[in-house]
DNA sequence: GCTGGCGTTGACGCCCGCGTCAAGGTCTAC
DNA sequence: GTAGACCTTGACGCGGGCGTCAACGCCAGC
């Protein structure tokens, strides 16, 4: 199998395959004419790479899985190094999700406050209502926010 | 105030400030000797930028907030364009969090399966227990997984 | 023998938010 | 006058995962 066919069957591009080879991730035999020659086994390796990538693994993080398959193990994650990568990735994901949720909470709070203030101003302008100090008790929160 | 002092007071670097100016985000007056000259108001703008950046806003996304302050509004988010950016960012965050949680679930599942298989093999090797077909019913799930 | 579709290597581009270096100008203090 | 702390512009680097082009080789069909 040549590079174009492998790429097509795996749903990727020849450029990516050449890049993986450059990283030593997916080495290829060579035919007499210099063309890269791949086997069915390479398709498995490649699918392993793509699957992990879809889950946010970097190429270097897929290496243990690929080497595990190359070593003849039944699955890419049949080796301790792969399990370790799983664990690291899970804790990364947890940390990332936590951070995003904190950020989301902050942004949501700011958005709600800004909308309240807008509505208060609109109502004030529309009704010419008296501006009372106790109408905007969020000012302190805002200053705290801006100091970050 | 010159660039170094502003950078220090805002907890950033001169390089960042020059970059913001290059983007037209934080323009600076010039002193007679060509040095950039900033005022207290610029410190507010800069803090607005940094705060938003900490929440994952790209520099271009901070622009409406900065322009809002420059226009003399009390807060960076006192303008409709800023509120729109808030809304977009919130939906981006939601989407991102959802994706990460889905990924986390997939990875976690794979990890659990891989560990079960490892333990099963270890137990099998240790006790020389007979290898029964019904001992590894997860094979189908795995094939489905690899086809993705 | 010519066209077209494969393949090869090499090199630069992209995105973003700067870091870092180079080569110089400006101002203050001693 | 000179050291040193600041400032200026310009340019390249980085990280990750390739896209894209250039310039060429190989092979099949007409």
The pLDDT of residue B119 = 85
What span, in angstroms and rounded, lies between the C-alpha atoms of A70 and A76?
Answer: 9
Asked whether residue B50's C-beta has any atom of DNA/RNA strand C within 7 A, the reply is: no
In this predicted model, what pLDDT tens digit does every residue of A10-48 receive, in sequence order?
999 999 999 999 999 999 999 999 999 999 999 999 999
What span, in angstroms and rounded, lies between the C-alpha atoms of A79 and A73?
Answer: 8
The pLDDT of residue A144 = 39
User: Which chain D positions come under 7 Å from a protein C-beta?
Assistant: 6-9, 16-20, 26-27
The spacing between the Cα labelled CA in B94 and the C1' in D19, in angstroms, equals: 30
Q: Does A96 lie at the interface with B, CB-CB under 8 angstroms?
A: yes
The pLDDT of residue B121 = 76
**Closest by Cβ to A86, choosing from B48, B107, B142:** B107
Q: Does B142 lie at the interface with A, CB-CB under 8 angstroms?
A: yes
Contacts 24+ apart (CB under 8 A), B44-52: B44/A146, B44/B69, B45/B69, B45/B70, B46/B6, B46/B10, B46/B12, B46/B17, B46/B20, B47/A146, B47/A147, B47/B10, B48/A146, B48/B76, B49/B20, B49/B25, B50/B10, B50/B11, B50/B12, B51/A145, B51/A146, B51/A148, B52/B76
In this predicted model, what pLDDT tens digit does every residue of B86-143 receive, in sequence order?
999 999 999 999 999 999 999 999 999 999 998 887 765 555 433 332 233 333 333 3
- Asked if A51 and B117 come within 8 Å (Cβ–Cβ), the reply is no
In this predicted model, what pLDDT tens digit does every residue of B14-40 receive, in sequence order?
999 999 999 999 999 999 999 999 999
Which residue in the block uniquely carries the two structure tokens 């009704």? A127
Q: Does B11 lie at the interface with A, CB-CB under 8 angstroms?
A: no
How close A36 gets to chain B, by Cα (Å)? 24
Q: Does B139 lie at the interface with A, CB-CB under 8 angstroms?
A: no
Q: Is the pLDDT at B3 greater than 50, yes or no?
A: yes
The pLDDT of residue A34 = 95
What span, in angstroms and rounded, lies between the C-alpha atoms of A73 and A66?
Answer: 10
The pLDDT of residue A129 = 38
**Closest by Cβ to A51, choosing from B75, B86, B146:** B146
The pLDDT of residue A125 = 54
In the complex, which nucleotide's C1' lies nearest to the CA atom of residue A16?
Answer: D18
Q: Does B101 lie at the interface with A, CB-CB under 8 angstroms?
A: yes
Q: Is the pLDDT at B49 greater than 90, yes or no?
A: yes
Chunked mean pLDDT (size 10), chain A, 148 residues: 96 97 96 96 97 96 97 96 97 96 97 92 55 31 39
First CA to last CA across chain A, in angstroms? 57
Q: Is the pLDDT at B78 greater than 70, yes or no?
A: yes
Strands A36-37, B36-37: pairing is: unpaired
- Asked if B55 and A117 come within 8 Å (Cβ–Cβ), the reply is no
Output the pTM of the full model: 0.80
The pLDDT of residue A126 = 54
Q: Which residue has better confidence, B129 or B57?
A: B57
**Coil, helix or strand at residue B147:** coil
How close B45 gets to chain A, by Cα (Å)? 10
- Asked if B100 and A103 come within 8 Å (Cβ–Cβ), the reply is no
The pLDDT of residue B9 = 96
- Cβ contacts from A onto B, under 8 A: 94
């Amino acid at each position: 199998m040549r590079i174009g066919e492998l790429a097509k069957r795996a749903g990727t591009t020849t450029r990516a395959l050449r890049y993986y080879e450059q990283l030593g991730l997916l080495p290829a035999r060579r035919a007499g004419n210099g063309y890269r020659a791949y086997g069915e086994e390479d398709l498995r390796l490649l699918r392993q790479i793509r699957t992990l990538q879809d889950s946010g693994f970097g190429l270097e993080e897929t290496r243990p899985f690929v080497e595990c398959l190359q070593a003849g193990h039944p699955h890419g994650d049949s080796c301790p190094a792969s399990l370790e990568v799983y664990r690291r990735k899970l804790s990364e994901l947890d940390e990332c999700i936590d951070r995003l949720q904190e950020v989301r909470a902050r942004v949501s709070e700011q958005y709600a406050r800004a909308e309240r203030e807008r509505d208060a101003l609109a109502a004030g302008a529309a009704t010419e209502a008296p501006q009372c100090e106790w109408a905007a008790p969020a000012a302190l929160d805002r200053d705290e926010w801006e100091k970050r």
